[in-house]
Every structure is written in structure tokens, then in C-alpha cells.
Amino acid sequence: MKKTSTRLADGRELIYYDQRDDSVRDAVDKRPLDRTVTTSEVRRDPLLGDSIAVASHRQGRTYHPPADECPLCPSQGDRLSEIPDSSYDVVVFENRFPSLAGDSGRCEVVCFTSDHNASFADLTEEQARLVLDAWTDRTSELSHLPSVEQVFCFENRGAEIGVTLGHPHGQIYAYPFTTPRTALMLRSVAAHKEATGGENLFDAVLERELADERVVLEGDHWVAFVPYAAHWPYEVHLYPKRRVPDLLALDEDARTEFPKVYLELLRRFDRIFGEGEPPTPYISAWHQAPFGALEEFEGVHRDDFGLHLELFTIRRTSGKLKFLAGSESGMNVFINDIRPEAAAQRLREVASS
């Protein structure tokens, strides 16, 4: 992998990740852009104990542009985009309309391919590995920023999810705090560790799932399963078999196998609802250990956390979405329309082979 860092016309950082070591990236952003001004701030809820970001400047962000005006395609002739070069493999750049900025963290966009009409599932294994390497590199770099405590790499796919740009891309949020969902996991890890005399909860969960009927696919180094208490109609968790706290700690064997397993999983997601159906909307989310202090989680260390990816769709059946209504939105109690065992069986049936 070759990494080339440059700056856009308004001062934001852009990084090319190339498969070829001889790639030259010297294109200049010729757009007449003013310096980016953001109004992000983080506010803490005293009752719930969590934090929210206020980012009113995002109201003016780009919204469903036509394909020939996509800001994530490479620049061509007089059509100038966020990527100055006329081609690219993988690109990461600072979001022009970030939810988090400055002392409140950082937001980046990850463009998986220059092909506007592709999806992550269309990538080759080599391309998917390059994305993994980019995620890993950005996790490392962002973790060293003084305001950052947790790095979150994710992809939103589909208009139903709320995606405003159709080009295949994901995002990275670098939070100035440990997120509420991760804090819940760490509290459970701490409680389990104390109750069992030191047993790791992530190891226990993985052992249980490997022995049950919800495994979707399994390799030498990764296993994908529908969790026992799945929140979403179709939800799969992808775990490395050797517990590690973050992407940085994956060994080469796991990195090599990941593209094959993950691409197969994404392709199965697009087959859930049958031929002729539109692409399945989904959220794909990496869960990594925080880089900040863990004193509030008594007896827990970073190495106690288990890196994993959670992939889920809000579509519950053909043409119908799972809405987060009263119980889910009001009380955070999910009601699943599909038995996890049935979801796992369906995902095994639609194997791409």
C-alpha cells in the first residue's frame, strides 16, 4: 500500500491509498473554496449520562446530487470534485460538513472505489483489503489526536438509511468520549469478569455462538453469526476468532482472510429478499476499544474488549422497513420481527456459491 497525503483548496486533509507503489498523486484542487467553518459542539445529557453533538452547519450539506455532479467521483476536465485526481483506488478526506470537529473530534469520508455505480460487495478481494488497510491506518492516526477517545469506522448504504450521496463510501468518526454503546459493553464485560473470576465476556459469547445454530459462515480466522438477542430483522456480527481490541491488533492471517469473508457476507445480504429486489440497505459498523481512560469500568483493560463488526438492515421483508417507533425510540427496547434462528437460516440459504 502507498499512502499520499495532500490538502484540498480549503485546507482539509485528503489521503490517497494506492495498491501500486509507483502511483503518483500530485493533482491540485482547483476549486475556489473558502476555509471550512464548523459549529460543532458536544453537550452532555445530565439524566442519561450520554453526549450528543450539535452541528447546525450540516443543514447545508450536499443532498442527492445527480450522478454527473457527484462530489465523490474523481475530477474530470472542468467537473471538479472533492478528489482532485482523475482516478483513485481508495481515498479518505476530512468531511466538509462534519458532525464533530476541532476539540469535539473529527469526521472523515472513505471512498471505497472511483466507480460511482459499484457497491462494497462489487469490490475485488484486493480492493477490500486496501479498504481494511485504510481503516487501520486512520484508526492509528486518529487515535493520536489529543481530543480523540474512540474511533468508529462505518458504512451507511441505501437511501432508506439516510444516505445522501449514492457513491460507494463510508465514514470515520473520531469521538472525544467513549460512546454510550461501547460503555454498555464495557460495563457488561466488567460485571462478567467479576462474577466469573476473570472470564472474558466476548470469549464467552463467541464460544456460545460457535456451538449454536445461528452461525452464518465461518473461516479459519473469522466467524459470522446472527446474535442470540438480535435487535434488527437481519443482523450479523463478524468476529475474529482470536480476540483483539482493535483493527491495529489483527494479525496478517486475519487481515488476509477478512476480504473473502466480508464480501461473501455483503453479497448474501443483497440476496436476502430474492431476485429483482433493490439492493439491501444496511449499516456496517466496526466496534473497537476506546483509546481513552477506562477507570470507570473497574477491572477492565483495553485488551478485554473484542473487536467486531456489526452488519444489519432496517428492511424486515420485501418493501417493508423496520421503524423505530414507541418502544424502540422511546424506551430503547427493541422488538424484532424475525427470529434470529430464521434469519441465520435465510443467510445460509443465499450463499453466493
Q: Please list the active-site residues.
A: 169
How far apart CA 288 and CA 276 sit, in angstroms, is: 36
Nearest CA among 309, 313, 320, 304 for reference residue 343:
313
- In order, the DSSP letters of 56-91 are GGGGGS--S--GGG-TTSBPBTTB--SB-SS--SEE
Using left for φ > 0, alpha for ψ between -120 and 50, and beta otherwise, residue 187 falls in alpha
- In order, the DSSP letters of 209-252 are HHTSTTEEEE-SSEEEE--TT-SSSEEEEEEESS--SSGGG--H
Q: DSSP H helical segments within the chain, as ranges? A: 125-143, 180-196, 201-210, 252-269, 331, 340-349
Cβ burial, residue 309 (10 Å; 0-12/13-18/19+):
buried
How far apart CA 71 and CA 79 sit, in angstroms, is: 9
3-class DSSP state of 155? strand
In terms of DSSP bridges, do strands 2-7 and 315-317 run parallel, antiparallel, or are they unpaired?
A: unpaired
Phi, psi of 165 (to 5 degrees): -125, 125
Q: Which residue type, as a one-letter code, is found at position 271?
A: R
Residues 82, 92 contacting (CB under 8 angstroms): no
